């Protein structure tokens, strides 16, 4: 199945559509409007404001359920966890409809718990498509997400990158920057090497 990229705007993260699932909701609702009738679930890769800023409006517009990992669910109401004050804003102030855990499947995507950037960061994997939507865990330039925010952990992120390195990945679709449709595993291996070299 094709992963549709909706590019980031300013400081706000990329969104993706996979089947009936929208991944992340930092963008303005008008960026999603043309797809709204085909979306029934919104999955948040983590609770940082640049990924959740417009979740309330987009969920209402699409009549969609909202899903997030249980370790990051509090970020939907907690300004410190969401970093919303860095954006001069407040958290959405809502509870998720679906609380995710490692190994769950949602909309044909496997939930992989990849803590490190946040305690509840997840990646979403389609094995048949060899596609990984990676949030801020790993990027296509061989870099990885910051771990110096509240709840971040270098050790946890390193373990998460090692876990992703075991997957068969061609398409890599990160929270920031441009996605790639092939060679995604190379970008993950580069991030693992950067981590092991002591970067950051």
Model-level pTM?
0.97
Q: The CATH number of the domain where 40 resides is what?
A: 3.60.15.10
Give me the domain span that covers residue 14. 3-196
Whole-number pLDDT of residue 14:
98
10-residue stretch averages of pLDDT, the chain, 200 residues long? 93 96 97 97 98 98 98 97 94 97 98 98 98 98 94 97 98 98 97 88
List Cβ neighbours of 166 (8 Å cut-off, separation of 6 or more): none
Whole-number pLDDT of residue 199:
72
List Cβ neighbours of 74 (8 Å cut-off, separation of 6 or more): 47, 81
Whole-number pLDDT of residue 10:
85
In eight-state DSSP terms, residue 193 is H
**In the chain, how many domains are there?**
1
Whole-number pLDDT of residue 200:
61
CA 144, CA 56: separation in Å to the nearest integer?
28
């Amino acid at each position: 199945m094709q992963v549709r990229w909706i590019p980031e705007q300013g400081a706000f993260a990329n969104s993706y559509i996979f089947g009936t699932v929208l991944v992340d909701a930092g963008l303005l609702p008008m960026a999603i409007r043309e797809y709204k009738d085909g979306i029934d679930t919104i999955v948040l890769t983590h609770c940082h404001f640049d990924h959740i800023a417009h979740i309330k409006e987009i969920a209402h517009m699409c009549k969609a359920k909202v899903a997030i990992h249980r370790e990051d669910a509090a970020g939907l109401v907690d300004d410190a966890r969401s970093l919303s004050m860095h954006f001069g804003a407040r958290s959405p102030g809502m509870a998720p409809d679906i609380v995710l855990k490692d190994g769950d499947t949602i909309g044909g995507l496997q939930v992989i718990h990849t803590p490190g950037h946040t305690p509840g960061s997840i990646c979403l994997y389609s094995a048949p498509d060899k596609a990984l939507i990676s949030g801020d865990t790993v990027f296509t330039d061989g870099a990885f997400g910051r771990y110096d925010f509240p709840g971040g952990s270098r050790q946890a992120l390193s373990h998460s990158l090692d876990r992703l390195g075991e997957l068969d990945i061609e398409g890599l679709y990160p929270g920031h920057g441009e996605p790639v449709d092939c060679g995604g595993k190379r970008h993950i291996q580069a991030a693992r090497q950067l981590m092991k070299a002591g970067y950051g």
